Amino acid sequence: MYSPDIHHRQSIRLREFDYSTAGMYFITVCVHERECLFGSICDGEMTLNEAGRMAGAVWQKMPERFPNAMLDEFRIMPNHFHGIICITDGVGAPLAAPGFDSHEFNKGAASSAPTIGKNQGAASSAPTLGKIMRAFKSISAIEANHILDRQGQPLWQRNYYERIIRDDGELTNIREYIADNPAKWAEDKENPDSA
């Protein structure tokens, strides 16, 4: 049984928040010990290696496993991952804070990101953000460790960071942040060479 007094870990999730609630989330997942396993950045451009391309492919397949998940902007970096994910209400409409324009969501979506239609089946129980992230981390870790010939080692740090996206302005800013991440690698706090 987990006890914060014994295990010295505090949850970074919002208490009392239902992470199966339809809405948009900005996700960051870091590689264990910030090791650069997914490629490199040169002149502000990210060049993915085979493990990095595989991690991106696993992320893009998450809606096949979780039909109520829609993907938007995402970026694999040398040692971390940023992505925007939307959990829908089962009929394709992302729900968020009042005033959020759900039509704005698909404007920045990657061309390969699927959309959910009214006739598309929903999962029998709403997936939580945690369940989606556990699947992504588990599948990508197994595949990346196989590619990198490092079976049995941790790929990702424990947990992940999420931010609930509350309006169109926040969505636009986060999309820009993700897109600009490689160009700002020299100052990135996840860059082991920037101290």
Kindly state the tokens that stand for 36: 């650069």
Going by C-alpha positions, the residue among 129, 113, 95 that lies closest to residue 175 is: 113
Token couple for 31 = 């590689």
Residue 88 is predicted with a pLDDT of 85
The SS3 call for residue 187 is helix
pTM of the model: 0.75
Per-residue pLDDT of the chain (195 residues), as tens digits, is: 444 454 444 444 445 544 456 789 999 999 999 999 999 999 999 999 999 999 999 999 999 999 999 999 999 999 999 999 999 876 544 444 333 444 444 444 443 333 333 333 344 466 789 999 999 999 999 999 999 999 889 999 999 999 999 999 999 999 999 999 999 999 998 998 876
Longest dimension (CA), the chain: 51
